[in-house]
Structure 1
Amino acid sequence: MWYLNMNAVMAITGMVLILALTRWWPHNKRILLLAFNLCFLFLFNHRLLAFYLGYTALNYMAFWALCYLPRWRKTAFVTLIALNVAAVSGLRILGMASAEHPLIDTAIFLGLIYNVLKVIDALYFAYFFGKDAKTPVLDYFNYILFIPTFTSGPILKFRDFMADVKEPYRVTAEQTEDSIKRIILGMFKKIVLVTWMTDVFDHLSKQELHTHESLFLMIWFYALIFFDFSGYSDIAVGFGRLMGYNIPENFKKPFQSPTLTQYWRNWHATLGDWFRDHIFMFFSRSTPTRWTAAGLSLLIMVMIGLWHGFSWLYLLWGVYHGVLMGLENLLNKTTVNKRKVSKRYFYARCALTQLFVTAAVIVYSGKSETVLHIYKGLFHWPF
């Protein structure tokens, strides 16, 4: 969200320059980064800063307690996760009615749905590693409030972020060039392509639709959200790496995925990885059976759907993808090795996967009227 505000972009760019100029100081990307994160949120809105100071402080105390808790660890672990999920879910259900400004509403809401995943990842780390997971409060606050990925991802892993914290600020000329190119590419996607494609989609979707027009809009919208999501990710990866932190890739050639299971490891990869890692880690310590894997796939996809939004459309979207992925597990078709099959077979499977994704991708519009209008158009033949 920050990247559509030129003042915010200039502030983040200024922070990158400050870090580059103070690279001789071993703690510059810890202390200066925290000062920047706090100042950025304060200037954006002091209420936003107050909210996240309280939210992060409470979760750090929970994290610290879990590191040292000798008894009732599992009970405390589950309770802390449940409280975080309940808090975010409650705010989502209530529609953030307490927020007076729609921009602040968006910042709190978008930040929470990403940050609660980071909070839970830190709790997992504390639960499984105990005292070895202890982390200075400064680094924990930087992890949660890291501005480049605050409202758009990619989702940072606690372990990886803390490993980066220990490394001195070091960005080479080649890394700088690559990061700037990523930022420019992301800006082009988000500001130019997405803006134009959204105008086209909004214009066409308001008209009476026939089969071919609905099909076109579904494919068009798929391309639109790809440029939107990947554009944000490009900018976040670029700025994050310029600040000395290795931001993971969020899109890994998703259109070359021969199965839905592989697709969700490549599309919004950090989100798929988060749900897969945490759900499988908690419910299936050993190698799961096909039926267990199928059930967990359904559970994960339903949770991903509800993470996107509490509505029957997102619930059905999750069930749809979960059932298909469950069938892949039951039929032992979760992966296809490109080297062991013919090119024709591999790309046919890729095309089939994209067909399944395209059939439901319009749900991402978040508007039930638009979704139903486009689906109804599929059955409206032009003759």
Structure 2
Amino acid sequence: MGVRGLDVADGYEAPPPPPRGEHVVAVNRNIRENRQAPVLEALKSRVDVLISATGYHYLTLLERRAHSALLLRKASKKWDTCAGEALLRATGGIVTDTVGRRYDYTYNLDAVPNLSGMVASSDVGLHCEMTAIIRDVIKPLGEYPYDVVDPSVKRGVLEGLTTPPGGWRAVTVDVGGCLIEPAERVGDVYARIASALGCDHVTSESASTHFKQAFALYRGKDCCDCEALRYYGDGKSFWRKVVNHVLTSALTRKIDASTVERMLDHLYEYYERPSSWYIAHGAVDAIRRLRRSGVRVAVASNWDARLPDLLKSLGVHDEFDALVVSANIEKEKPSTEFFNVLVSELGVDRSTVLHVGDGVQNDYQGAAAAGFGASVLWSSRPIDGVDRRSRDFNEIADAILHANAAHVHQRHYFTH
């Protein structure tokens, strides 16, 4: 299930989620607010756990005894929800405030309580529909939680941005460092393979340093009067230079060409294995929810021509409506020409497209310069000049679906 030691006992049958079954919830024993009863009625929920213990609520979700836990007022503390949220997220679940906004646990926690309530679910899609219904139900009952000053509530990914007429139509996703990342540190892989070839002078630290130098320095062609691309075809014209730079310790040693070629072959074999990569947590679920609501999703990557086969081996190739790879179109980010091809492949207006990627220049600025409706930097760290950032595909999908109101008008779970 994604957490070591967590499993479901043999013979146990979890209650089916709506619409196939009832929506089973855990709630607090002490109710001192007027929102819970109408919310439960609107959701047609069945209360199976009635106890004032947030940790126990999370256990019921992890054990698949309930679908959601509701605490629609200030009560739980951040130390009550932080560890539980980590476990739930690792198993495909989610925790937000009453109306679906995420909490930021990195914030200076002068205010320890979760001032805007707590809602948790074992399924992200169900949760998004549920919090949309909660927003509608509690709106006539008062301003809470919008009247609460709570700086630990994360700023929405699309906050302050006008939704395009007709809604967001497409999302484009960077691959390296965003959709997928290496399972091992690059320096460790290079050092291990170099050592097996007798190049013991290459260490993890030196390989990491010289790899970064080479990646910034070289292109796929030696060209003085043109802007050469990084990748042509299978990319070997570029990666050969990187390997040589690492093996020669930034061109300070002599290494024969055959050793460079052998290491290049070993690296190609290694990085073509699906086990050498991991897919960003929640990415596939988020992409499926977007596409189910009518939002098109495309890959937008500076990569060599092997990328489609790698995505097939990872089992995600068919999750996308289009794949735009720089080596195949001989255009690369951040050029407007690259983003023009993306728009053409998707068949939508560029003002309705949101791009996600980990490069400030290639992705965040490149998409903005090409006239995309929004760009989000794949990062958890604040960066000067970057207004929109996230490292959570489900957070991005939630923001789009909320803006489009797709999870209200095209319900999948709460169809009553």
Fold agreement, TM-score > 0.5:
no
Q: Which structure's residues are more often helix, by fraction?
A: 1
Q: TM-score of the superposition, structure 1-length normalised? A: 0.27
Structure of higher CA gyration radius: 2
Q: TM-score of the superposition, structure 2-length normalised? A: 0.26
Q: Which structure's residues are more often strand, by fraction?
A: 2
